[in-house]
Chain A
């Protein structure tokens, strides 16, 4: 049974990621950000999203990827998570990709610990692998990464 699913795709350090399109509220350009001293370094800051204050999460840090060079302005993928609206900072936004379950495969055993919990698996696209991000996991419990 092939049930098509839609993903909002984006790039992080040349890797292709996707989040469930239904969870994406909007995608916006880089916004002015207010740093939050003492917060976990995964939290890039706070943005003003039309009067709503939204926490911005640096997804590169969250996924323990190499840090973005300061010249590149990140894009905001604003998603609805169980902890409220969160903005995920990504390098570049991709297409909306429609896939079905047939191309899905779970995460490999060799994937490391904390990242593993955030990546549900991959969809094998024609030329690439699209990592499927667990939106809630990616947004949750940012304090925990404090010690890392």
Chain B
């Protein structure tokens, strides 16, 4: 068990408390009737007794216990406060202090019990105030308990309580802010100095730079706490959980001294606890099962913390049964979170990630420890909120590892400075995946379009592009850059490319909150002050992605989209009807939805109310003009007339689809081909009317969602067709 920090805290706290107690008891002697003082003294001794007992320092506990009894009698008025009583209390305090020093020096109590003191304390207790106190021997003559421990009295080394002070966190926050300002002032000076040929200025600037950097490091360190602060309670937690579930589990901790910012420590406490609970409850098997599987009956959970690349990694590993992707799949199917055909084509990794879906639990039954299906998604959300990530590795039968990557501190973050229009923005480095520069005309041609939505084919996968100036409405840059700069970002589970006018550089920035007035804008995570003193906004990558509809705003819809995204690809090949959609883009519908392909003379198109219809095989066929249905959302105004190129005399190509037992005609620009494709490269569409985009026949093709298109084209079967039929008959 790794608990030096608890002991350290106990030492500091007890020393402070005892020092206060000494003062108070001396005051009490002058003012014996003061109940507040007595109460405070009583509480202090009680705390020391409690903590000492908890940490199994029996010597301290015994002395404090007797002392407490004494004080309790004093409080209840059973005995009078006499100088002798004060002395014996002080003597007890000394004894406790001596033990504390011994613990600090050697890690253990002295081992010699102050029998004489204990005896006298007992005697006083039993006397119940009847025996005169004067009979107690004067403390000064006592040697044992009050004798200074030779190990510490002679040493000049500062004790723990001397070398540390308690500081209000808000003061540290202020210092942190000021250091942040100093960093900015330093940046300004350096920029300023770079413009001048002044060696003295350069030298000073350099010194300032060094000192500031060191100061920044120092102040940042004051807010750092070892991660052990959180871990310390885990051995107990694991022990209790193991006892409750009849398992045998040991916990190993490595790197408990890895330091993190206090605010981050606070915010990872709950997620970590949850993960540990999960490991105990779901991960580690019952001893009998473990033996059967050829493992040691005792399970092991190991925690590992270490720094890596400016981040802290925390790994929680259990050597339990691991998570079976197969079982996850079954559970997901059972709960209706996944359709069977989707599940079939998911990779093991994707299946493992299912446990991060809201409402997912693999526990066969809900225990009081875990398994209620809330949790893993919350863990993920909480970790992501502080800019961290959660990864899950699992091997069936071997165990599960959760890997958390956590930023060191929240206040100062590295950011990428980009320009869009005339404004500068900062993108937090944690969201950054890669930078792409597309040079010149050839570069421009690499950007493909899926029905007007720009896409970039990055290593064979479609990456949706979002233009920052469109999202924010900041207008175009005055001088179009030579190349197109794409910042590939990770927003939740999606990646997208943010097209900016220019990528400047990376900087350490101090994040400042925005005023209440701008809280409603989820595109910004805050603001910061740049080297030149101007303010730049920090982009909230998730917010930008939401605004550009790369990811949907609400989590349940997000889940559906994930499901949809994984739903698409199937192993077997499928037949698609390819046709040219609006703007010459390529679109497709699954062939099994298509009833017939027709060429209808445009004269046959008639209007019934707001609905275009055609007489078809003795009935009325509602016609949806794909261009109108899909463009409606992009071009706000909806044109009621058929487009001019469908003027009288031409024939129109109509795909007759069956939808919910009814037939409907999709009016397309041109029917191209029928192909059989597995369509493996897919990207979920970000807008209505399209199921997903895929590469079919080597070209980016959008798959039309017939049901959605009908909804968007406002096709109703029952009410609108009847009158239409009447009118058609009149026309005959």
Contact = CB atoms under 8 A, between A and B. Distances in A.
Interface of A: 32-40, 43, 45-48, 50-55, 57, 83-86, 139, 142-143
A34 B180 CA distance: 20
Given A53-B512, A86-B515, A46 B527 contact: yes
The CB with the most chain A CB atoms within 10 A, among B181, B472, B474, B516, is that of: B516
Contacts of A83: 515-517
B533 A39 contact: no
Contacts of A34: 423, 527, 534-537
Interface string B527-555: 11100011111000000000000000000
Nearest to A83: B516
Given A34-B535, A83-B515, A84-B516, A51 B181 contact: yes
Given A34-B423, A34-B536, A35-B423, A53 B514 contact: yes
A53 B527 contact: yes
B473 interface: yes
A136 B173 CA distance: 27
Contacts of A142: 517
Interface in B485-544: 512-518, 520-521, 523-524, 527-529, 533-537
B161 to A, nearest CB: 36
A43 B516 CA distance: 12
Contact of B473 (A38, A45, A51): A38
A143 B529 contact: no
A142 B520 CA distance: 10
26 contacts: A32-B533, A34-B534, A34-B535, A34-B536, A35-B423, A37-B473, A37-B474, A38-B473, A38-B523, A39-B521, A43-B517, A46-B535, A48-B533, A48-B535, A50-B181, A51-B180, A52-B512, A53-B513, A53-B514, A54-B515, A55-B514, A55-B518, A57-B517, A84-B516, A139-B517, A142-B517
Contact of B423 (A37, A40, A47, A48): A37
Contacts of A53: 512-515, 527-529, 535
Contact of A39 (B512, B518, B535): B518
Contacts of B520: 143
B314 interface: no
Closest 10 CB pairs of A and B: A37-B472, A83-B516, A55-B515, A34-B535, A51-B181, A46-B535, A142-B517, A53-B512, A53-B527, A143-B520
Given A37-B423, A46-B537, A54-B515, 11 more contacts: A34-B537, A38-B473, A38-B521, A39-B518, A40-B517, A43-B517, A47-B535, A51-B177, A53-B515, A53-B528, A143-B517
B30 to A, nearest CB: 46
A57 B518 CA distance: 11
B180 A36 contact: no
B478 to A, nearest CB: 15
B184 interface: yes
Interface of B: 177, 180-181, 184, 423, 472-474, 512-518, 520-521, 523-524, 527-529, 533-537
Contacts of B184: 51
B517 to A, nearest CB: 4
Nearest to A33: B535
Contacts of A85: 515
A67 to B, nearest CB: 19
Given A86-B517, A142-B517, A38 B529 contact: no
Nearest to B534: A32
Contacts of B523: 37-38
Contacts of B533: 32, 48
A51 B529 CA distance: 7
A53 B513 CA distance: 8
A38 B547 CA distance: 11
A32 B529 CA distance: 12
B515 A84 contact: yes
Contacts of B473: 37-38
A51 B527 CA distance: 11
B183 to A, nearest CB: 10
A36 B524 contact: yes
Contacts of B177: 51
B574 to A, nearest CB: 42
Nearest to B532: A32
A48 B518 contact: no
A122 B524 CA distance: 39
A38 B524 CA distance: 10
Contacts of B513: 53
Contacts of B180: 51
A23 to B, nearest CB: 16
A36 B521 contact: yes
Nearest to B520: A143
A48 B423 CA distance: 15
Given A48-B529, A53-B527, A53-B529, A36 B537 contact: yes
Nearest to B475: A37
B591 to A, nearest CB: 44
Nearest to B424: A34
Nearest to A51: B181
Interface centre among B423, B472, B518, B527 (most CB of A within 10 A): B518
B266 to A, nearest CB: 24
A36 B473 CA distance: 10
Nearest to A46: B535
B55 to A, nearest CB: 45
A7 to B, nearest CB: 24
A31 to B, nearest CB: 10
Contacts of A36: 518, 521, 524, 537
Given A83-B515, A84-B515, A38 B472 contact: yes
Nearest to A143: B520
Contacts of A54: 515
Contacts of B528: 53
A38 B472 CA distance: 6
Contacts of A57: 517
Nearest to A141: B517
Best-surrounded residue of B472, B514, B517, B527 (most CB of chain A within 10 A): B517
A54 B516 CA distance: 10
A143 B515 CA distance: 12
Nearest to A43: B517
Nearest to A142: B517
A102 B518 CA distance: 39
